[in-house]
Chains A and B, each alone.
Chain A
Amino acid sequence: MKPFTFERATSPEQAVSAFAAQPHARFLAGGTNLVDLMKLGVETPEHLIDVSRLPLNDIEPTADGGLRVGANVRNSDLAAHTTVCRSYPALAQALLAGASGQLRNLATTGGNLLQRTRCPYFQDLSAPCNKREPGSGCSAREGVNRDMAVLGHSEHCVATHPSDMAVALAAYDAQLELLGPEGSRTVPAAEFHRLPEDTPQRDTVLRPGELISHVTLPPPPAGARAAYRKARDRASYAFALASAAAVLAVDGDGTVRHAALAFGGLAHRPWRARTAEQVLTGSRADAETFARAADAELAAARPLSDNAFKVPLARNLAVHTLTALTGDAPNRPAGT
């Protein structure tokens, strides 16, 4: 690890101006990704600005019935918040499907969104990687690519975004509040992460030195149910091979009124399945529709040598997740 200087930010604005004064700085939140990457030599900041103690810890209802979450809210606290469990269950489920109890206690909402890919070539300084070292090449494309992207990848990068939480936020149409040297702005969660194109070094649309301050969830669509489902190599404590977050509202006559579907593990960003949503909306909420919608979305998939299995995996995840949402609603357990 390279030596670095350190300061503790005193306010969000101060953090942003401190960053502007130090081009090789990084914000430190829970540190569970940044410190790991510093140990690997992938991240080599000269200055750390600790933002973890900034007062961005609240989970508050918004005037329109949504929820505003501070960037420093820990993943464990967000998942345990009763409003999140009840009104945004796919978010609670996504958080609880990620990492471990210890890590979720440290991981923050902001840091989770900005965690880097788990591509082994990105983490290996001896391997070419356009994301780490622009112009050096992509080792994964023709290398071990079982875990890599099937949608939206480019000749320059086939990495996936590893966050579970971000997939649920995309499906819930969350908005991210960013604070930068030029003031604050809002970006939809579903448009925050980028496709790699020819600049895979840029994971997101965040500008250098911008701080994520809050994530705002709109009120859940009336009558909607939601779930997150994740497929991985072991039952717990593993990244997604593929995952699906679904928010579904069905009218009394069995017609889909609102559908949001997002995939994880398939692309350089949480993959909001707009094509599938178009098929779903206004159609009958049944397994046939769900399969047709998933197939329409995944027709764009371009699997690599070792990851063709992800296409049927994602299709089945989508169909099963949506189907489960049309079954009986969860019964209220006795005593609650």
Chain B
Amino acid sequence: MIPQRTATSSTLTLHVNDTAHTVTVDHRATVLDVLREQLHLTGSKKGCDHGQCGACTVLLEGRRANSCLLLAVAYDGAHLTTVEGLGDEERLHPLQEAFHERDAFQCGYCTPGQIVSGVGMLCEAAEGHPSHATSPEALQWATGAPAELNRDEIRERMSGNICRCGAYPHIVEAIEDVTDHALRHRGTAPHRTDAGADAGTDADSGTDARTDAVPAR
């Protein structure tokens, strides 16, 4: 429905984890508020509510974004992925599994944001996005080829996610595990992919199906 110019609330549709939700929202509501309070998807956390901590990170059209700064009214028709859409208790996303194996959290408050941000970050690297840690040489000869992720790169690219418990060393290791995995098995990195497009083309297609939880942009 077309938002009413005179009203201060609107009805709109958000596609969250592949399910369409039509909701009426006060224009002041952020996507984070709608996710948590109207759709009861409480995986995304409110840490600072000002774009400073990353606890609210979701994928918006496949790209990571701070949902506390997204006014829901501006995102009618948008596709969002929250941590709930990455995996479930039976079949964790490879990055969720890595966080579990590496003990990459203490209180866990920042963890959903870290994991969603990590998934988005791996997509960006696969698409050749440089970072502040990328050398001037690599930047000067940029080709758009996938970026290699060493620890400095992972730290820099994940700096938008604050962990008050200081679990950073293990968070970096967990992400590194998935990166290594991605390098060893081409095609298993979470990347822009149409659901199922890669399935069956890789020996690990069982895990691929999970990484396809990242929606196409």
Contact = CB atoms under 8 A, between A and B. Distances in A.
A219 interface: no
B63 interface: yes
A236 to B, nearest CB: 4
Interface stretch (A30-38, A129-137, A155-163): A30-38
A3 interface: yes
Contacts of A103: 51, 66, 69, 160
B130 A237 contact: no
A245 to B, nearest CB: 14
Given A5-B5, A8-B3, A39-B50, A80 B127 contact: yes
Given A35-B71, A100-B159, A102-B57, A89 B139 contact: yes
A52 B75 CA distance: 10
A1 interface: yes
A309 interface: no
Interface in B34-70: 49-51, 54, 57, 60, 63-66, 69-70
B156 interface: yes
Interface in A297-336: 330-333, 336
Interface in B155-184: 155-161
Given A102-B54, A105-B63, A85 B139 contact: yes
A100 B120 CA distance: 12
B129 interface: yes
A6 B10 contact: yes
B19 interface: no
A48 interface: yes
A101 interface: yes
A10 to B, nearest CB: 11
A43 interface: no
Most buried by B among A1, A102, A227: A102
Nearest to B158: A101
B139 A92 contact: yes
Interface stretch (B25-33, B82-90, B92-100, B206-214): B25-33
B142 A7 contact: no
B74 interface: yes
A228 to B, nearest CB: 10
B74 A86 contact: no
A82 B139 CA distance: 8
A99 B52 CA distance: 9
A44 to B, nearest CB: 12
B201 interface: no
A235 B7 CA distance: 45
Interface string B129-157: 11110111111111111000000000111
Contacts of A332: 137, 140-141
A83 B112 CA distance: 35
Contacts of A32: 51, 66, 69
A332 B136 CA distance: 10
Contacts of A267: none
Contacts of A262: none
B10 to A, nearest CB: 7
B121 interface: yes
B117 interface: yes
A6 B3 contact: yes
Contacts of A105: 60, 63-65, 120
Contact of A92 (B26, B30, B124, B130): B130
Nearest to B141: A336
A36 B142 contact: no
A106 B141 contact: no
Contacts of A4: 8, 27-28
Contact of B159 (A80, A92, A237): A237
A156 B134 CA distance: 41
Given A82-B142, A103-B66, A96 B132 contact: yes
Interface in A75-130: 76, 79-80, 82, 85-86, 89, 92-93, 96-97, 99-103, 105-106
A28 interface: yes
Contacts of B51: 32, 36, 102-103
B16 interface: no
Contacts of A38: 28
B73 interface: yes
A35 B5 CA distance: 19
A236 B134 CA distance: 13
A96 B7 contact: no
A161 B136 CA distance: 26
Given A1-B28, A4-B27, 12 more contacts: A3-B27, A3-B28, A32-B69, A36-B51, A50-B74, A80-B127, A80-B128, A85-B142, A96-B134, A102-B51, A103-B51, A105-B63
> Which 6 pairs of residues, A with B, have the shortest CB-CB distance?
A100-B160, A85-B142, A236-B159, A3-B8, A330-B137, A237-B159
Interface of A: 1, 3-8, 28, 30-32, 35-36, 38-39, 48, 50, 52, 76, 79-80, 82, 85-86, 89, 92-93, 96-97, 99-103, 105-106, 227, 235-237, 330-333, 336
